[in-house]
Structure formats: C-alpha cells, structure tokens
Amino acid sequence: MANMTRIMIWSLALTLIGGGYWFTTQQPSTATRLLAQDANTPPGAAPIESSPSPPPQGTGFIDILLSGGIVGNLIMLLLLALSLTAAYLVFEHAMAIRHKELSPPGLADEVREQLIAGNVKEAEKVCHTHPSFLSFVLLSGIAELDSGWTGVEKALEDSVAEQSARLFRKIEYLSVIGNIAPMVGLLGTVTGMIFAFQQVASTQGAAGAADLAEGIYQALVTTVGGLLVAIPSLGAFAVFRNWVDELVAECAYEAQQVFTPLKRRRRQAAAPTQGGRSG
C-alpha cells in the first residue's frame, strides 16, 4: 500500500509538472501579445485593432487529445497520471509474477530431500534462503509436521489461500484504474456538455455550431482518453489474473509433492502396527 501511494504521488507530480510546462509554452500571455503589437505599430499611429486569427488546429493524435480546452486538458492530465501508474504496475507485475519468482528452481526438490533425510532444520533453512510463494507454503507445512498429515495438508491449503489472496490484491490496482479511468473521462464528457449548453443559454438559443464545438469537443476527447487508459488496464488485469491462477495451482501441486514421501512413510509405519494389533 505504501509503495502504491508513492507511485501515485510521483505520477501525479510528474504529470502536473509536464502539464504546467505545456500550458506556459503553448499559451502566450496577453501582455506578450500587446507588446508584440506595440512593436509593430509606427510612432504616433493609433494601434490597429484586428480580430484575432484562430490558431492553427493540429490534426495529429496528440493534438486531438490536447484540444479539449482547459478543463479537458486538466482531466487529460489526471488520465495521464493514471496511465503512468498503470504502465508501472504492468511492468512490475510482469517481472514479479513469474514461475521462477514464485517457485525458485530446485527449491521443492531440495526441501523434499532434506525432509526424507529427517533434516527438518535444514529444510527450514533452505526455505528461508529462498523467500518466495512456495517457500512460505512449505514453511507452513513443515511447522505442522508433528500434527500428522491432516495438519500438514490443512496448513498447506491455508497458506496457499493466503498467498494467492495477496497476489490478487496486488494486481487489483489495475482493475481499479481500469474502472476509474472511464469515470474520469465521463466527468470530462459531462463538463463539456455543460459548457456547450451554457453557450446556448447565454446566447438565448442563438449559438451556432462554432460556439458549441468547444464543449462537445472536450466531451469527446476526455471520453477517448478515459477509454485509452481503461482498456489496456483491464486487459492487463485479466492476463495477470490468469497468470496468478495458473502459477498458484502449480505451486500448490509442488508443495503437495514435497510432503508426499512423508505421507507414504507414515502410512507404511502405521501398517505393521495395525497388523500386530489384529494378530
């Protein structure tokens, strides 16, 4: 949770810095425009008032995303922060949720050999030197060896459930981002439509298409931005969820195989005792 909070803070800070830089470089101040006009006016002549020419409209993908007005751009900055966080989570999960990370190669075989030889302390030491999903599960089973196979099996099931829940909570943030992003885009959609209808109300219905375009444009742009963040996030969440299901099943099977020789040995040891009693 603490790491996730730091990621969100850094993503938001970087987004705000980049957004502030973009606003200051792309939108010249009124004073700058007036100074430029005075410099071009001859001495003693009245300043020539000319209608401001509309800025050239870009048609590139980035230009479209950044053409939703001030409110739309602020919402796009928030969506950018969410996208940066989602990108980091995808990279981190891709590195951490792998078979060799959850189940280090050779760990199960080494622990099984130590348990067969009766070296319980050595088996625990091996698990501690390879901290992972599988080592945590094996340590839980080793701790219940004196309780018999029933206790070991119950400990394995509980530890697998606990560790799998931890992994699912870890990838749940991608689902949260995937569900929040469309809502943020919808917020931009609503505000854009409010601006559009405000133009209609302020002109008593005389607003033309050009007057309504900015609000509608903002509504569409923020909707697109929200979907661009949500779709990859939800797709990545589905992929990682399948990874977790598959890897948890494999680790649970490996843990069962580690303790299977002990289960057979105890059954064989119990068989002569039962035969002697019957005799």
Q: Is the distance from CB of 218 to CB of 188 less than 8 angstroms?
A: yes
Q: Alpha-carbon distance 86 to 266, whole Å?
A: 50
66-125 tens-digit pLDDT: 655 677 778 888 999 999 999 999 999 999 999 999 999 999 999 999 988 888 899 999
113-122 tens-digit pLDDT: 998 888 889 9
Q: Alpha-carbon distance 272 to 279, whole Å?
A: 10
155-180 tens-digit pLDDT: 999 999 999 999 999 999 999 999 99
Q: Alpha-carbon distance 276 to 279, whole Å?
A: 5
Name which residue leads in pLDDT, 75 or 47.
75
Host H or E run for residue 63 = helix 61-65
Q: Is the distance from CB of 134 to CB of 107 less than 8 angstroms?
A: yes
